[in-house]
Amino acid sequence: MSPGFGIIGHGVVGSVFSRLLRNHGARVLSYDRLLDRQETASSMRKKIEDDGSKACSLAEVLAASNYILSVVTPQSCREVADDVSRSLHGHQVFIDLTSTAPAVKRMIGATVTNSGAKFVEGVILGAVRLFTSPIILLGGPTGDSVALVLQQYGLAARFYSPEIGRASAFKMLRSIFSKGMEAVLVETLVAACRAGLLDEIWEEIRATLSTGKVEDTLETWVRSHACSAQRRSHEMQEVSQFLEEIGMQPVLPRAFGQIFARSLGLGVSDAFPQEPESFREVIEYLEHQQATVRNALSSH
């Protein structure tokens, strides 16, 4: 008999997981808070059933599930863990897949394991698309065996670390780049549209990221950061002024200018009068200098 899967939070992710699990022969039960509201219960029940799952109360999901996947909002993940921990048993695995900080994951893990159940930290990488499983990184002492089960039932899970919190730390740091790139693209393209240069700027971005190896381009940007921080800081001031002239708030250019100015203040240009061979030299220098300043401030 196939194991029972319970989904808490039947939004976009819950919907995709339900379909994938069900298509691979799993028994799936779903609970969402919208089932508890008279005005939304009917539509949510239909959505759950359309996804191949069975709409249930939270108590029913917990009573009949071997693996419980929590895909609620970051704001409610701790509350959900507190609620479910009262009903969990030793044979059950609670998998928290919310996008939250490592410290929160560790607190949830402690709550769950204190109930006698097993806890697995999960993070979802990339966009969630219908009919396709996103990559799921799992952490915790039982993360490796749970990854094999989820793989068997259609989810692209892989074991990341036995330590709770590392997968979430990876997700948080990855988001600086991925969400930052998204913000940069949106801000750049809106400004380009305002200036009547949308097509030209889009082509320039596309060409920059498709010429040669993207890795080479990224490394060049970091290596040259050392020698060019002052020039780029001033350039961001000019960009900010230009955006104001065309009626846009220069939120990102100002922030970028502050980062270049901070690097300059940490002595990066003096430390690297010539462009270093490896981008790691620049990053390790800046991390060390920032830590030194932070420690000096905390000692006063």
HEC secondary structure over the chain: CCCEEEEECCCHHHHHHHHHHHHCCCEEEEECHHHHCHHHHHHHHHHHHHCCCEECCHHHHHHHCCEEEECCCCCCHHHHHHHHHCCCCCCCEEEECCCCCHHHHHHHHHHHHHCCCEEEEEEEECCCECCECCEEEEECCCHHHHHHHHHHCCCEEEEEECCCCHHHHHHHHHHHHHHHHHHHHHHHHHHHHHCCCHHHHHHHHHHHHHCCCHHHHHHHHHHHHHHHHHHHHHHHHHHHHHHHHCCCCCHHHHHHHHHHHHHHHCCHHHHCCCCCCCHHHHHHHHHHHHHHHHHHHHCC
- Which of 119, 135, 163 lies at the terminal end of a domain, its last residue? 163
Q: Same domain, yes or no, for 9 and 134?
A: yes
pLDDT at 204: 92
pLDDT at 215: 83
pLDDT at 211: 65
Q: Same domain, yes or no, for 158 and 194?
A: no
Tally of domains within the chain = 2
pLDDT at 219: 87
Q: Same domain, yes or no, for 184 and 127?
A: no
pLDDT at 176: 86
Q: Same domain, yes or no, for 20 and 159?
A: yes
Asked if pLDDT for residue 297 goes beyond 90, the answer is no
Rounded Cα distance, 140 and 117, in Å: 13
pLDDT in tens, 42-86: 999 999 999 999 999 999 999 999 999 999 988 899 999 999 999
| Domain carrying residue 159 | 4-163
- Which of 114, 139, 163 lies at the terminal end of a domain, its last residue? 163
**Looking at per-residue confidence, does 219 or 138 come out higher?**
138
Rounded Cα distance, 189 and 184, in Å: 8
Question: If you average pLDDT over residues 215-224, what whole number do you get?
Answer: 86
Neighbours of 246 (CB within 10 A): 10
Q: Which two tokens stand for residue 59?
A: 């108590």
Residue 210, exposed/middle/buried by CB under 10 A (0-12, 13-18, 19+)?
exposed
Rounded Cα distance, 114 and 119, in Å: 10
Q: Same domain, yes or no, for 248 and 188?
A: yes
pLDDT in tens, 272-295: 988 899 999 999 999 999 999 989
Rounded Cα distance, 17 and 69, in Å: 9
Q: Same domain, yes or no, for 57 and 127?
A: yes
Q: Same domain, yes or no, for 204 and 145?
A: no
Q: Same domain, yes or no, for 159 and 174?
A: no
